[in-house]
Structure 1
């Protein structure tokens, strides 16, 4: 039996990874800011020693677009080194090295910290989860006109499929950078938004808004996509049907 620590283990992805590993009979410790007995704010780092003691593998799912990921990773890596952890597995995002967006740059910096940590490591990059798109569309659909960035495609993937892959990687040896995971379809944001509106029974006029800046140009060019690694099975419509029952 392997002892595994999942950071962000109460989140959308971490919760599913935890469930899968426990179902296979492994001891899994859940680390988040409020989950006892391993309630740790990684940005502060206090309490990490007890969380990592005796751990074989860390699955690092904790992340925040509000900042602090690099500091959190630094604390985690230092504690993992001291505890002799043999494998550090990180979930990243497709395109972090191609899209000059602040959160992506932070994720890429964490990748580099892990690669240079001296710990056996694995990095998996995935495209955006269906859940994230639904959250974004929910916010954008509040006004009567739904404004979308013009010309931006997306390739959403089922979070459960990424959780399955992470659980598989956590039980293997450190593998370095593994092949990316992308959803089954590259779609326009407009088509995905229309699917969301249909599933939720809303009627909104769609407005395609041209934006500016290098990050927007990179998103328009598909820097966050991996069409050659469209390995996901579940479509956005299937996710919507399961969530909203339409």
Structure 2
């Protein structure tokens, strides 16, 4: 079995990668800035947690020691984090190379290089860092997560409205399905080019209004659907359908199925 280092091992996708890898019998080192305490529900039994920070390099060597592959599931949500996101990726890869890691896999977003939206641009910049690395690397681009839509609908519902972006369709995917693809890429036998990129999309493409109605039915929300224009880079990205990959539908969990499973936390 392989020793796998998961950077961002407590995040939405990272914790799913950790869980799956442990279940398959691999040795897992979860790298995070604030490891969950022993006994916490956020801590996967059987995984080893390391406090480390890609912004400074502190703790990376210990987390990567003996690993055969690293899976980067880190996020950069704040403005400051986005500004240093690619640099953090470079620091992680350099430490991985020093540790003798053979392969690195990174989670990204479909067509992020075709948007000026800052969060997406930071993802594209990190992709370039991986592409130029001396390691064997794989970029896995995924469509938006089910939870993104649920969060948007829930935020508006507090004001008795459910926002629906005009002209927007989505192909949402479950974090667990993305985690499975990341792990599969990490464990593939080396072949072909040193760097590869592939995409994975959710099983269904739906108008945002249809998804909003499904969320409303699952949550019992009394909010009114309101179609709104979305200006700026994100609006342009969605209206152009750049968040969709019809040719890469993954036979995984639908938005409706995810809502049913997540009912208690919505």
Per-residue displacement from partner, 1:106-163 (whole Å, max 9, x unpaired)? 1011011011011111111111111222122211211012233211111001221111
The one of 167, 186, 193 aligned to 2:205: 186
1:60-99 equivalence runs, <5 A = 60-66=72-78, 67=82, 68-99=84-115
1:1-246 equivalence runs, <5 A = 1-35=1-35, 37-66=49-78, 67=82, 68-174=84-190, 176-244=195-263
> What is the CA–CA distance in structure 1 between the aligned matches of 2:174 and 2:163, rounded to whole Å?
25
> What is the CA–CA distance in structure 2 between the aligned matches of 1:11 and 1:148, rounded to whole Å?
27
Aligned length: 246
* Residue range with higher mean Cα deviation, 212-221 or 118-127: 212-221
Structure 2 gap ranges (5+):
37-48
- What TM-score do you get using the length of structure 2 for normalisation? 0.87
Residue pair 1:8, 1:60 contacting (<8 A) in 2 also: yes
Structure 1 gap ranges (5+):
none
* Residue range with higher mean Cα deviation, 113-122 or 212-221: 212-221
- What TM-score do you get using the length of structure 1 for normalisation? 0.93
Query: Structure 1 26/109 Cα, relative in aligned 2: closer, same or farther at 3 Å?
Result: same
Query: Structure 1 46/151 Cα, relative in aligned 2: closer, same or farther at 3 Å?
Result: same
> What's the offset of the Cα at 1:213?
2.6
Query: Structure 1 184/9 Cα, relative in aligned 2: closer, same or farther at 3 Å?
Result: same
Secondary structure in 2 matching 1:12: coil
Residue pair 2:17, 2:180 contacting (<8 A) in 1 also: yes
Residue pair 1:122, 1:174 contacting (<8 A) in 2 also: no
* RMSD, aligned α-carbons: 1.8
Per-residue displacement from partner, 1:158-180 (whole Å, max 9, x unpaired)? 22111111111111135633431
> What's the offset of the Cα at 1:83?
1.5
> What's the offset of the Cα at 1:239?
0.8
Per-residue displacement from partner, 1:168-227 (whole Å, max 9, x unpaired)? 111113563343111111111111111111100011111111132343122111011101
Runs of 4+ in 1 over 4 A off after TM superposition: none
